[in-house]
């Protein structure tokens, strides 16, 4: 049975996109992109909290979102909300508290997340975490995480995994290569979007 489970996991992982560096969404709302009506439909989100979430944008980390939500909701309420709304965490930089904010996370699994750093791809995450949980749980956890994309070498397919990314913006990312500094990225991409959106996009990339 254990061998069969391993085979099934390998098949499931092989079917996942090879280029994805941001976890595949399974109906998890993005706090930077969700409109007010979507926010209001989520557990424990009233008008005031929906307005506070919108006002707090951009969220460049799970901690930033939690800082806003924790002013209103209890830990148990936040756990229910984060099953529907979450700011994905950087697998290589997220704090233990941010990892533990993923619904259903345990201290043991948080340790496994940290043990395999640095992650160079989501495929590595799937392979390593798949040693401990089945394919469906790997897929559930994956939607909460991302591996930073390399500004100068990420493929168009990689870049399109950033939430809210468009084909036009991918072309702008590629047009200004090679980037020699994050300041250059901010300046060039800032020609097309406002400062909040530049900050949101920047949080998914790294200058290698």
Q: Which CATH number goes with the domain that contains 184?
A: 1.10.150
119 shares a domain with 19: yes
With contact defined as beta carbons under 8 Å apart, do 125 and 102 qualify? no
Q: Which two tokens stand for residue 127?
A: 């392979």
122 shares a domain with 20: yes
Q: At residue 47, does pLDDT exceed 70?
A: yes
CA atoms of 124 and 145, how far apart (whole Å): 12
98 shares a domain with 21: yes
Q: Give the structural domain span for 200.
A: 149-206
113 shares a domain with 20: yes
Q: At residue 10, does pLDDT exceed 60?
A: no
| Residue 78 confidence class, pLDDT cut points 50, 70, 90 | very high
91 shares a domain with 14: yes
CA atoms of 99 and 26, how far apart (whole Å): 18
Q: Lowest mean pLDDT: which of 20-34, 48-62, 64-78, 158-172? A: 20-34
Rounded to an integer, the average pLDDT of 188-194 is 98
Average pLDDT, the chain: 92
Boundary (domain end) residue, out of 121, 146, 171: 146
Q: At residue 11, does pLDDT exceed 60?
A: no
| Residue 14 confidence class, pLDDT cut points 50, 70, 90 | very low
Q: At what angle do helices 122-129 and 135-142 cross, to 10 degrees?
A: 140
130 shares a domain with 100: yes
118 shares a domain with 76: no
CA atoms of 163 and 34, how far apart (whole Å): 11
123 shares a domain with 191: no
DSSP structural state of residue 85 = B
Backbone φ/ψ region at 71: left (φ over 0), alpha (ψ -120 to 50), beta = alpha
128 shares a domain with 50: no
Overall number of domains in the chain: 3
Higher pLDDT, 15 or 164: 164
Rounded to an integer, the average pLDDT of 53-77 is 98
Which pLDDT belongs to residue 20?
A: 58
pLDDT digit string, tens, across residues 93-136: 999 999 999 999 999 999 999 999 999 999 999 999 999 999 99
192 shares a domain with 93: no
pLDDT digit string, tens, across residues 143-185: 999 999 999 999 999 999 999 999 999 999 999 999 999 999 9
The pLDDT > 70 percentage for the chain reads 90
97 shares a domain with 177: no
Which pLDDT belongs to residue 25?
A: 87
167 shares a domain with 125: no
């Amino acid at each position: 049975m254990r061998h069969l489970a391993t085979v099934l996991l390998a098949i499931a992982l092989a079917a996942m996109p090879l280029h994805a560096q941001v976890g595949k969404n399974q109906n998890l709302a993005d706090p930077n992109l969700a409109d007010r009506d979507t926010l209001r439909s989520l557990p424990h989100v009233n008008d005031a909290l929906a307005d506070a979430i919108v006002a707090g944008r951009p969220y460049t980390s799970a901690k930033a979102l939690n800082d806003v939500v924790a002013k209103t909701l209890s830990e148990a309420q936040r756990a229910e909300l984060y099953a529907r709304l979450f700011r994905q965490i950087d697998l290589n930089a997220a704090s233990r508290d941010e990892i533990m904010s993923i619904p259903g996370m345990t201290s043991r699994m948080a340790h496994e997340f940290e043990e395999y750093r640095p992650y160079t791809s989501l495929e590595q995450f799937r392979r390593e975490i798949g040693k401990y949980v089945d394919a469906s749980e790997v897929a559930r956890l994956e939607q909460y995480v991302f591996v930073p994309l390399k500004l100068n070498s990420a493929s168009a397919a990689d870049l399109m995994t950033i939430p809210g990314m468009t084909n036009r913006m991918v072309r702008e990312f590629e047009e200004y290569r090679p980037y020699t500094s994050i300041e250059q990225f901010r300046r060039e991409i800032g020609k097309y979007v406002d400062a909040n959106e530049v900050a949101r996009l920047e949080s998914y990339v790294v200058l290698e």
